């Protein structure tokens, strides 16, 4: 019998991580994700895991680097300004090919911004905000249940590809309470980590590094990464499609914004409007194939991208549509969230 509990998004992220085998967490306080850190502080010691309140975001992400280097399932979490600070460390984790999960409960920016929910770190997450040619897998939960469930997926992907995985949520998702079903917490398959630092007993020494000074060595390492990214792009696209068959208008939204958009879609369909929704679940790799399929139709719909930002995912939609269909945009940020009324008004104006 699955257990049902009432829990906030932030706590569900922590709970999901622990159930996915996360045994090392380091974080630094920042609103609106503090419940996650507090949950880890309480639960990690109870299950023999490690919780460290780091002295900074830089320390936290580099602790994650160290824990990941030993092969442990590890994560950190933060919100937008803190994520900016973690970017160097994420670049190192990607370069050294370490598995790790990083949660960003997004808030308004730029700068100190505010603490209201936002989706304006999409570029940072999907283009990779640090230096160098690297990519992070990015998962965007849109309910508290998904906040819990996606942790299992995230740690699995991180281990499978030896790559950082970002969970991109927002302050609304983090703070919201919902009933969710939780699993047993039994660790699913985790691949052997013969590269991990455990001491060189009965084997040659292992080195974890992202530094390739010899001529041609870095290019070779980068090409290896690119090959991996290509496989991820081919195999790991995830999305939810709603009422796509025959749709003349298709809303594209993710995370919290997709919840609001879904309400609009269902209301308008009741009134006979041919409208559907694509909710990208992986933001990188962006689910291009579904767009390519739809734009191959004879009658092409209008895409309406809605974001809690001023048009970041919009670029990925345009890249996926490749000019074969009209792409419109509605977005607010800095504390504003597009309302159902605003969305309906926009649809009417198309």
Q: Which residues bind other proteins (CB under 8 A)?
A: 23-24, 26, 50, 52, 54-56, 58-60, 62-67, 69-70, 72, 74, 88-89, 92, 96, 197-202, 205-211, 213
- If we measure between CA atoms, which residue out of 239, 218, 102 comes closest to residue 158? 102
The dihedral of CA 60, 63, 68, 71: what is its sign?
negative
Nearer to other proteins, 72 or 313 (CB): 72
**8 A C-beta contact, residue 264 and residue 343:** yes
In whole angstroms, the minimum distance from the beta carbon of 183 to other proteins comes to: 24
What is the Cα–Cα distance from 44 to 40, expressed in whole angstroms? 5
Nearer to other proteins, 65 or 229 (CB): 65
Nearer to other proteins, 54 or 330 (CB): 54
The 8-class DSSP code of residue 204 comes to P
User: What does the block give as tokens for 219?
Assistant: 């290019």
Q: For tokens 């010691």, name the residue.
A: 45
Nearer to other proteins, 64 or 304 (CB): 64
The 8-class DSSP code of residue 100 comes to E
In whole angstroms, the minimum distance from the beta carbon of 298 to other proteins comes to: 53
In whole angstroms, the minimum distance from the beta carbon of 157 to other proteins comes to: 21
What is the Cα–Cα distance from 26 to 86, expressed in whole angstroms? 12
CA angle in degrees (0–180, nearest 5) for 323-313-86:
145
In whole angstroms, the minimum distance from the beta carbon of 313 to other proteins comes to: 30
Nearer to other proteins, 29 or 110 (CB): 29
In whole angstroms, the minimum distance from the beta carbon of 196 to other proteins comes to: 9
The dihedral of CA 276, 281, 287, 289: what is its sign?
negative
């Amino acid at each position: 019998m699955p257990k049902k509990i009432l829990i906030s998004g932030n706590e569900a992220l922590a709970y999901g991580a622990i159930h996915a085998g996360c045994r090392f967490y380091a974080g630094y306080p920042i609103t609106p994700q503090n419940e996650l850190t507090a949950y880890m502080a309480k639960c990690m010691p109870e299950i023999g895991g490690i919780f460290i309140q780091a002295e900074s975001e830089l320390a936290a992400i580099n602790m994650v680097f160290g824990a990941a280097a030993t092969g442990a399932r590890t994560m950190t979490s933060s919100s937008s300004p803190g994520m900016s600070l973690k970017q160097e460390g994420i670049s190192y984790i990607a370069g050294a090919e370490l598995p790790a999960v990083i949660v960003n409960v997004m808030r308004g920016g730029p700068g100190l911004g505010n603490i209201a929910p936002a989706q304006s770190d999409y570029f940072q997450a999907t283009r990779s905000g640090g230096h160098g040619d690297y990519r992070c897998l990015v998962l965007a939960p849109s309910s508290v249940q998904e906040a819990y469930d996606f942790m299992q997926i995230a740690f699995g992907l991180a281990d499978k590809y030896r790559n950082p995985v970002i969970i991109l949520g927002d302050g609304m998702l983090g703070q919201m309470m919902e009933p969710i079903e939780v699993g047993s917490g039994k660790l699913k398959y985790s691949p052997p980590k013969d590269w991990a630092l455990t001491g060189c007993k009965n084997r040659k020494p292992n080195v974890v590094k992202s530094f390739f000074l010899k001529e041609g060595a870095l290019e070779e390492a980068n090409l290896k990464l690119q090959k991996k990214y290509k496989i991820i792009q081919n195999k790991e696209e995830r999305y939810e499609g709603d009422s796509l068959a025959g749709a003349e208008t298709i809303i594209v939204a993710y995370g919290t914004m997709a919840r609001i958009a879904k309400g609009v879609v269902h209301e308008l369909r009741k009134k006979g409007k041919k409208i559907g929704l694509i909710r990208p679940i992986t933001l990188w790799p962006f689910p291009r194939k579904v767009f390519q399929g739809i734009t191959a139709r004879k009658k092409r719909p209008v895409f309406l991208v809605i974001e809690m930002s001023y048009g970041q995912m919009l670029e990925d939609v345009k890249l996926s549509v490749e000019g074969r269909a009209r792409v419109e945009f509605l977005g607010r940020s800095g504390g504003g969230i597009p309302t159902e009324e605003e969305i309906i008004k926009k649809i009417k104006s198309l």
